[in-house]
Amino acid sequence: MIKIANAPCSWGVLEFELEGKAPDYVQVLDEMKETGYQGTELGDWGFMPTDPGKLRWELERRKLNMLGAFLPVLLKDKSRHKEGINAAVRTASLLKDAGYPDAFIVLADDNGTVPERTKNAGRITPEMGLSKNERKIFCDGAMELARRVREDTGLRTVFHHHCGGYVETAEELETLMSSTDPELLGLVLDMGHYKFGGGDPVAALRKYVNRIWHVHFKDCDDNVAALSRSQKWDYFQSVRNGVFCELGKGSVDFRSIVQELQRIKYSGWIVVEQDVLPGMGRPKDCARHNREYIMTLGL
């Protein structure tokens, strides 16, 4: 049975250093519960308690589950792999010790840190990609991290393709998927990032059906995406201008996606992500609207 969760990024708690103050974890978890969600992801290290007992208590008293933790690593730089692996094992150990052995490490590139990729998010060309050697280093790093996480903690790792990073387009995701072990590294398919990156989320769902272990529901406003291209906005300008809108208000075909998930008997979690940055709006209202929209899809 598919269950619905939300994530701290929907309250403006992102891995990036941005202006404005996001709410604390108490408010975020309270509002997740109040708007009808059943689970959450961890957010940045230190946002939620890093003591396993305290983390478990905070979630259990709200009847929320813990599904995973987003972890950005600069995978194209081999000198950063050890640091990333250590952070992944530390995070996975927290989730395991808190009693969530089925949670995922949600591995991503260190998005938003490479100027060319950040500046051109949503309009990436092949010339902006990794070299053959860099791709190998990237894939090897992802595999070694997933291997260490599994060996040390038993948790699994899924890769999160993401605009503003080196795995954004459909072609870049295909390269990663075809160059890594499907038994070791899964995929979290993020509908909004895949759409903004130029892909068709429904086609991706069908293509990677045996690789998808986790799902993110994020919408993409095509009008804002077109403005981003014409005005040459960078990734952060696009987000702040609402490229990732409330579910049902963009161009992602969620009805077909839900039908496909049901057809393949997907029984994992759907995590809502709408990047509502500080000052953009009222995250709790957006979370409620997103949950109500998903209910119209039969979930």
Mean predicted confidence (pLDDT) in 120-142 = 97
Alpha-carbon distance of 264 to 196, in angstroms, equals 25
Report how far residue 36's alpha carbon sits from residue 154's, in angstroms, rounded to the nearest whole number: 30
What's the mean pLDDT in 10-35?
A: 83
Neighbours of 226 (CB within 10 A): 12
pLDDT, tens digit (0-9, with 9 covering 90-100), for 259-268? 999 999 999 9
Q: Please report the pLDDT score of residue 275 as a whole number.
A: 86
Q: Is the pLDDT score of 139 beyond 90?
A: yes
Residue 20: pLDDT above 70? no
**Cβ neighbours around 1 below 10 Å, total:** 6
For each of the domains in the chain, give its residue range(s) and CATH number, in order of start: 3-296 (3.20.20.150)
Most confident range (mean pLDDT) of 7-21, 186-200, 271-285 is 186-200
Which among 168, 187, 190, 191 has a CA at the least distance from the CA of 178?
187
Q: What is the pLDDT of residue 18?
A: 52
Q: Quick one: average pLDDT of 123-148? A: 97
Instruction: State yes or no: pLDDT of 40 exceeds 80.
Output: yes
Q: What is the pLDDT of residue 227?
A: 98
pLDDT tens track for 225-283: 999 999 999 999 999 999 999 999 999 999 999 999 999 999 999 999 998 876 677 99
Mean of pLDDT over the chain: 95
* Residue 298 pLDDT: 96
If pLDDT is split at 50, 70 and 90, which confidence band does 104 have?
very high
Say if residues 82 and 142 touch (Cβ distance below 8 Å).
no
Q: Say what the pTM is.
A: 0.96
Residue 278 confidence (pLDDT): 66
Who's near 110: CB < 8 A, 6+ residues apart?
72, 73, 74, 75, 80, 165
Confidence of residue 107 (pLDDT cuts 50, 70, 90): very high
Instruction: Please name which of 218, 255, 212, 267 lies closest in space to residue 238, comparing C-alpha atoms.
Output: 218
Confidence at residue 277, expressed as pLDDT on a 0 to 100 scale: 72
pLDDT of residue 113: 92
Q: How far apart are CA 35 and CA 169, in angstroms?
A: 33
The arithmetic mean of pLDDT across residues 29-49, rounded, is 96
CB-count exposure of residue 19 (10 Å: 0-12, 13-18, 19+): exposed
pLDDT at 166 over 90: yes
CB 2 within 8 A of CB 270: yes
Q: What are phi and psi of 296, to 5 degrees?
A: -70, -15
